[in-house]
Amino acid sequence: MIDRRTILLALAGLPAVAARAQTPGASPPSSVIASFSILADLIANVAGPAVPVASLVGPNSDAHAYQPKPGDSRLLAAARLIVVNGLGFEGFIDRLVKASGSKAQIVVASKGIVPLKAKTGADHADAHGHKAHNHDEAADPHAWQSVANAKIYVANIRDGLIGADSAGAEGYRQRAKDYLTRLDALEAEIGAEIARIPPASRRVVSSHDAFGYFERAYGLTFIAARGLSAESEPTAAQIATLIRQVRKEKVKAVFTENVLSPRFAQQLARESGAVVGGTLFSDALSDAKGPAATYIDLMRHNARTLVSALLTS
């Protein structure tokens, strides 16, 4: 068990900045390392301002394509706690942790979530970057796209922080409780927003298969142009099939994503007659000045962007 006084003394002089503002190598090692920006924000809400949090994969960056940097090993070696998504999302993390020699406790934020399977029928690269030819082979790692799942993440993060710092348990529990109350309100808000869309209009195209949990939770249908990994490019035949599907099913809107180039979505909209409905945030937060600088902002932005496009197109 990590002594709270030891942690605070070791971190003396470090700036207590928001998780989303930190980037690896930009500041001294932090006590808690998240694998990517969305997790970092969830951790910061539970850990509180006295515990610095850093993210390996920063805002607007794709964890599927992430290549570890030399400074990442130093961050992990100095960490007291490492939080990962799990479900195969971070293909790089096991090798990186081993190479760093880190002795930190590792928390899998998605522990306890029953994963969805990838629904993309076409060949795709899974979250490890390996080619998969059967959609049953890959679990969908994007569980945070359901607020109900994010609550499970928060509980696992809370328990991990308590395990690393039992003296701070009361604070972690209270902050987690307060944040869960905010997530309850967010979940109700998203449900009310999506309810405004006529059921016949609730079909959209996303750039990759990242919104299965959002679909199941809130009653939309997402047609994914790519598989689970944003790196996998659709073939010309797959694009032609998708264009025909969009036309046949009268899909109104195609959405770009913050971690991907908008080029393909724009091409698909142009050739199918759909509109580009806006940008959804899938695998990463925006930067601090953007519309999705926190997890709550991300989910609220996505819901409002979907509603706006589908009610006006």
Per-residue pLDDT, 293? 98
Residue whose pair of structure tokens reads 């991300």 in the numeric block: 298
Mean pLDDT score across all residues of the chain? 85
Alpha helix (H) ranges present in 64-168? 70-78, 93-100, 147-164
- The type of residue at 195 is A
Q: How far apart are CA 276 and CA 270, in angstroms?
A: 9
What per-residue string of b and e applies to 146-166 under the rule 16 or more CB within 10 Å gives b? bbebbbbbbbbbbbbbbebbe
Q: How far apart are CA 147 and CA 300, in angstroms?
A: 11
* Residues whose CB is less than 8 angstroms from the CB of residue 244 and which lie 6 or more positions away in sequence, other chains included: none
Residue whose pair of structure tokens reads 């939080």 in the numeric block: 83
Q: Give the alpha-carbon dihedral of 25, 16, 83, 94, to 10 degrees.
A: 20
Residue 228 has pLDDT above 80, yes or no: no
Lowest mean pLDDT among 158-162, 227-231, 289-293: 227-231
| Mean pLDDT across 53-81 | 93
Higher pLDDT among residues 309 and 5, named by residue: 309
Q: How far apart are CA 44 and CA 48, in angstroms?
A: 6
Pairing of strands 32-36, 53-57: parallel
Per-residue pLDDT, 126? 37
Which residues share a beta bridge with 253?
Answer: 204, 275
Per-residue pLDDT, 119? 67
**pTM for the whole thing?**
0.84
The CA-atom distances, in angstroms, between 309 and each of 201, 231, 253, 254, 277 are 10, 26, 7, 9, 5
Summarised one tens digit per residue, pLDDT across range 259-288 is: 988 888 888 889 999 999 999 999 999 999
Per-residue pLDDT, 233? 66
| Mean pLDDT across 238-256 | 89
- 231 pLDDT tier (thresholds 50, 70, 90): low
Per-residue pLDDT, 120? 54
Per-residue pLDDT, 230? 52
Terminal CA-CA length for the chain: 56
Query: Hey, do 4-187 and 194-312 end up sharing a CATH topology, with the first three levels equal?
Result: yes
Summarised one tens digit per residue, pLDDT across range 108-135 is: 999 999 999 876 543 333 333 433 333 3
- The type of residue at 180 is L
Neighbours of 195 (CB within 10 A): 11
Pairing of strands 53-57, 81-84: unpaired
Per-residue pLDDT, 227? 57
Domain boundaries, the chain: 4-187, 194-312
| Mean pLDDT across 74-102 | 95
**Structurally, what CATH architecture does the domain formed by 194-312 represent?**
3-Layer(aba) Sandwich (3.40)
Element spanning 82, H or E: strand 81-84
Lowest mean pLDDT among 46-50, 144-148, 168-172, 235-239: 235-239
Q: Which option is the CATH number for 4-187: 3.40.50.720, 2.40.110.10, 3.40.50.1980, 3.30.1490.20?
A: 3.40.50.1980
Residue 29 has pLDDT above 50, yes or no: no
Residue whose pair of structure tokens reads 């990463």 in the numeric block: 284
